[in-house]
Chain A
């Protein structure tokens, strides 16, 4: 821990930092543009200049770029040296020469790093009278708005998009002061991580295009810590609300999960909460026989009470509902009548994941940990589509390798330009075996595109090499065993190998195979980790509850009264079977926030709060439980599902759920009832007032319009809604001190209005939030079972000519239910199609073919899927407009 002297103050900083990091972590303000905690330094902007002195006696000193100078023991620097101050003022004046007079109409205004740095550097009046250079903008698709005039040539966008996220369609063009950052031609940005440009770009060049449709300023948004509901990784988000509408999602830093970044599904999927499909009132649906009629909450509960008189209740939970909502349903219907509402393959896969992670010897990897591994094997999963942020972290492997090499060259890891040169030298030890090419293949040292039985054979061979490392490859001419040998050798050399698998192919054997490989590595003393991808935000929570699948409920035959929680059963099982089953049930009650085929087939639909409107606990794929808080109150009569379920119990004459006052009471009972959840009560501070000064405000101290926003309805200001479920208030008032991690409602400190304020909340830049990160792991590997056992090999199905085995194709935009209710995401989703490999001998891209799948005859457009193995046909999962098919299935091309 070197000690350095900043403005004559001794500061002890972590080893290996540069001076900019050291200044920021020690609480000093120093302007910068091109440095970013996740991207490192390139020294492009010259904004971070400080004076460095040789020793105490040196009075002249020299100007150095803080971001490119190591913070070595005894370094003496001055931030407020007059020459350094003047230099920085000069730099910002140059950067502003061509800057347009746009702040009032710029969506970045009020959270603009350029505004902050301009103020910090003291540049207040424009002196230049020369004309400003201008640029034409591009249409970059539904996610990103482009306003190129505002660029200050810091290169952060290209360094993130191209170098960090592996995107190929955004770059820098032209030269000198004509530099242009954009695409070669108009068109949507292809990268799944393009939305991060909004936060990476320190100016208003790249802004959130969906936000533009309902612009607000940062200070006017009501924000609360939330968890992304669109996949199983549990990324931390900070959604913002204004005028009762969810307006955008921003990244909320979590050191071990999402870090500084989100994927575009998580960032742009939020508009489901404003969708026309929202159920806003209790509805008497009459199973679609007659138009639905709205009811009051009391009338709806009275109807329910009549239904609940019958013999038996059956509850269907949901992987898109919170732990508490699922548990409340379990309590309402009884454990023996509670089913998870998962499709058969999902239920089977999740149980496998649960068993592997809780009983096996190998710990699950955090996303950050996945990026720190030195060799990784991806088995069967297209992670970019099913667990996007994992893909972004796997792209770090190249840099992790380069960073190790850099140490040998005396090159500090933050020296991005240098480390990037090294990273070009060779591909990282990443190996991907999947049925088709994936978006991550460009990063892999070896890839294999084969059907599932061959994937299992591949895993077998990897295990065989691990068991006998000295033996040469079994059959070097066979691509399967050749890659198995190559990847096994890389895994053997690694200190921290990672095995990635998931549920995308609906094949639990792949999960077992991945676990067996990881267990072998662990047994050899490596720090092996497993990363198993699960499909939905609530999947892992349901897995830990160990409820049975939907098919088990359907197997019980006609139900009396069915209570379905936030679940569209049409997505879970064969639609005609679901339809028939619901038709047989005497009563069907559905709680949901979106109208679905299931709500249409119900007797009664109750308006549940959307995830952004209610508190809830979510368990991510690594087994970490995290609490999300309501960003806005649900509009009456909608309410949290668990409150509906409690009210339903009460109207049915039961008193046993009356004790629940807050979500903490539900969580506490869950912790007492089911052992895996024992520790979830320690997740957050109790929801009672955290300090004498009151709850933490969700609104900024500069929140505007409080006395006018409702004045057209009533000139008397309403009382802020109470929130018994959070230590946060729907108000500007309350505790104004430091907010504990996990409860941070904003990233703002005086002088730092943009998200760059984050370093004020971290122990050190890019480090832990105030020295600890929120959430708690519920799973620790017990090592009970040494699961070295490989799953048995699978037989390849016999296919006649013109027959194809259907494999699931997942799409980041299109396969997930909630985000598809967001118009911008729906625009990026593919049209219904089937995928065939190149050289399939049947159809070319765009050709329509007739397919017979079981009894179904359907016409579909063919899209060529790169690398799709022969004999396979890709079938888009969850995509609206695809005929309902339950996989596995075989399709025959009809001539």
Chain B
């Protein structure tokens, strides 16, 4: 008897409790920026591609669904000639983002990317590259690196001395 009453009580309590279920797709849930959804490639604060085509994300990817090719531009920057993610294989594990030394590749809170045709889930660089820095506004890899690029000569990176004069023997 007691258990029946308790059951009825529970039912009534749940009837008037606030709903967890929402009316998706009319309503959307809140997703934190750290949510692991659709992958993007970001740009640095100068608006240049952040990805330096180091291949670390593709090496970290447990399902091997990232393929890219590095090229070296006239301006001294290294960047991917193509960058492809096969989202029909991606398990959104975020290892690629963990591996990326330039904060270029980022997972976003967007997950609405279903397709009937698997081949439409193959994203190229044009589909991945966004116009801003994404979650990490400040970081600019080339400001830290020793490589000279257009507009930043040797010795002009963060915390660098001017280039050595090899012909001087002064201390």
A residues contacting B by CB (< 8 A) are 100-105, 109-110, 129-137, 147, 149-150, 173-176, 178, 180, 212-217, 219-220, 243, 702-709, 711-712, 714-715
Q: B residues within 8 A CB of A134?
A: 146, 154-155, 160-164
Q: Which residue on A lies nearest to B100, using beta carbons?
A: A104
- Going nearest first, the 10 A-B pairs with the smallest beta carbon separation are A100-B146, A705-B67, A104-B54, A704-B58, A708-B67, A706-B64, A149-B146, A709-B67, A708-B86, A711-B86
CB distance from B34 to the nearest CB of A (A): 23
B154 contacts A104, CB within 8 Å?
A: no
Q: B residues within 8 A CB of A715?
A: 86, 88, 118-119, 121-122
B169 contacts A174, CB within 8 Å?
A: yes
Q: Is B59's CB within 8 Å of the partner chain A?
A: yes
Known contacts: A134-B155, A175-B169. The answer to whether A101 contacts B122 by CB under 8 A is: no
Q: Is B92's CB within 8 Å of the partner chain A?
A: no
A243 contacts B69, CB within 8 Å?
A: yes
Q: A residues within 8 A CB of B59?
A: 110, 217, 219-220, 702, 704
Interchain CB contact (< 8 A) of A180 among B70, B78, B166: B166
Known contacts: A105-B54, A134-B146. The answer to whether A708 contacts B161 by CB under 8 A is: no
Q: B residues within 8 A CB of A220?
A: 55, 58-59
Known contacts: A100-B147, A708-B85, A712-B124. The answer to whether A174 contacts B61 by CB under 8 A is: no
Q: B residues within 8 A CB of A709?
A: 67, 84
Q: A residues within 8 A CB of B86?
A: 707-708, 711, 715
Q: A residues within 8 A CB of B85?
A: 708
Tell me the residues in window 44-83 of chain B with beta carbons closer than 8 Å to chain A beta carbons: 52-56, 58-59, 61, 63-72, 78
B residues contacting A by CB (< 8 A) are 52-56, 58-59, 61, 63-72, 78, 84-86, 88-89, 101-102, 118-119, 121-122, 124, 141, 144-148, 154-155, 157, 159-169, 171
Chain A at the B interface: SS class: loop
**Can you list 14 A-B contacts (CB < 8 A)?**
A131-B159, A134-B146, A136-B163, A137-B148, A174-B167, A174-B169, A175-B169, A178-B168, A702-B59, A708-B65, A708-B122, A711-B86, A711-B88, A715-B88
Q: B residues within 8 A CB of A705?
A: 58, 64-68
Q: B residues within 8 A CB of A708?
A: 58, 64-67, 84-86, 89, 122
Q: B residues within 8 A CB of A214?
A: 69
Known contacts: A131-B161, A135-B154. The answer to whether A150 contacts B146 by CB under 8 A is: yes
A178 contacts B166, CB within 8 Å?
A: yes
Q: B residues within 8 A CB of A101?
A: 144-146, 157
A104 contacts B84, CB within 8 Å?
A: no
Q: Which residue on B lies nearest to A703, using beta carbons?
A: B64
Known contacts: A100-B147, A715-B121. The answer to whether A132 contacts B58 by CB under 8 A is: no
In whole angstroms, how far apart are the Cα atoms of A131 and B68 in the complex? 34
CB within 8 Å: A-B pair count: 142
CB distance from B115 to the nearest CB of A (A): 11
Q: B residues within 8 A CB of A149?
A: 146, 154
Q: A residues within 8 A CB of B164?
A: 133-135, 174, 178, 180
A216 contacts B52, CB within 8 Å?
A: no
CB distance from A45 to the nearest CB of B (A): 20
B155 contacts A712, CB within 8 Å?
A: no
CB distance from B31 to the nearest CB of A (A): 26
In whole angstroms, how far apart are the Cα atoms of A132 and B159 in the complex? 6
In whole angstroms, how far apart are the Cα atoms of A103 and B63 in the complex? 24
In whole angstroms, how far apart are the Cα atoms of A132 and B168 in the complex? 18
B161 contacts A704, CB within 8 Å?
A: no
Q: A residues within 8 A CB of B61?
A: 704
In whole angstroms, how far apart are the Cα atoms of A174 and B166 in the complex? 5
In whole angstroms, how far apart are the Cα atoms of A215 and B52 in the complex? 12
In whole angstroms, how far apart are the Cα atoms of A102 and B58 in the complex? 18
In whole angstroms, how far apart are the Cα atoms of A561 and B163 in the complex? 67
Interchain CB contact (< 8 A) of B147 among A102, A704, A707: A102
Q: Which residue on A lies nearest to B154, using beta carbons?
A: A134
Q: B residues within 8 A CB of A100?
A: 145-147, 157
Q: A residues within 8 A CB of B84?
A: 708-709, 711-712
Q: Which residue on B lies nearest to A130, using beta carbons?
A: B159
Q: B residues within 8 A CB of A105?
A: 52, 54, 78, 145, 147
Known contacts: A103-B101, A149-B154, A708-B66. The answer to whether A173 contacts B55 by CB under 8 A is: no
In whole angstroms, how far apart are the Cα atoms of A176 and B102 in the complex? 33
Q: B residues within 8 A CB of A213?
A: 72
In whole angstroms, how far apart are the Cα atoms of A708 and B66 in the complex? 6
Known contacts: A174-B168, A704-B58. The answer to whether A215 contacts B146 by CB under 8 A is: no
Centre residue among B67, B119, B122 by max chain A CB count within 10 A: B67
Given A101-B144, A105-B54, 13 other A-B contacts at CB below 8 A?
A: A100-B146, A130-B159, A134-B161, A135-B164, A137-B148, A174-B164, A174-B166, A178-B166, A215-B71, A704-B61, A708-B65, A711-B84, A711-B122
Interchain CB contact (< 8 A) of A216 among B55, B66, B147, B162: B55
B161 contacts A707, CB within 8 Å?
A: no
Interchain CB contact (< 8 A) of B52 among A104, A147, A174, A178: A104
Centre residue among A109, A135, A137, A715 by max chain B CB count within 10 A: A715
Interchain CB contact (< 8 A) of A133 among B88, B144, B161: B161
In whole angstroms, how far apart are the Cα atoms of A150 and B147 in the complex? 10
In whole angstroms, how far apart are the Cα atoms of A733 and B54 in the complex? 24
In whole angstroms, how far apart are the Cα atoms of A110 and B65 in the complex? 20
CB distance from A620 to the nearest CB of B (A): 36
In whole angstroms, how far apart are the Cα atoms of A102 and B68 in the complex? 19
In whole angstroms, how far apart are the Cα atoms of A715 and B166 in the complex? 54
Q: B residues within 8 A CB of A102?
A: 145-147
Q: A residues within 8 A CB of B89?
A: 707-708
CB distance from B49 to the nearest CB of A (A): 13
In whole angstroms, how far apart are the Cα atoms of A100 and B85 in the complex? 30
Q: B residues within 8 A CB of A702?
A: 59
In whole angstroms, how far apart are the Cα atoms of A219 and B52 in the complex? 18
Q: A residues within 8 A CB of B118?
A: 715
In whole angstroms, how far apart are the Cα atoms of A215 and B54 in the complex? 9
CB distance from A762 to the nearest CB of B (A): 28
Q: A residues within 8 A CB of B71?
A: 215
In whole angstroms, how far apart are the Cα atoms of A173 and B167 in the complex? 8
B55 contacts A704, CB within 8 Å?
A: yes
CB distance from B65 to the nearest CB of A (A): 5
Q: A residues within 8 A CB of B122?
A: 708, 711-712, 715
B101 contacts A711, CB within 8 Å?
A: no
In whole angstroms, how far apart are the Cα atoms of A180 and B166 in the complex? 7
In whole angstroms, how far apart are the Cα atoms of A173 and B166 in the complex? 7
Q: A residues within 8 A CB of B161?
A: 131-134
In whole angstroms, how far apart are the Cα atoms of A131 and B63 in the complex? 41
B162 contacts A176, CB within 8 Å?
A: no
In whole angstroms, how far apart are the Cα atoms of A711 and B102 in the complex? 26
In whole angstroms, how far apart are the Cα atoms of A802 and B6 in the complex? 122
Q: B residues within 8 A CB of A136?
A: 154, 163
Q: B residues within 8 A CB of A133?
A: 161, 164
A129 contacts B159, CB within 8 Å?
A: yes
Q: Which residue on A lies nearest to B162, using beta carbons?
A: A134
Q: B residues within 8 A CB of A212?
A: 72
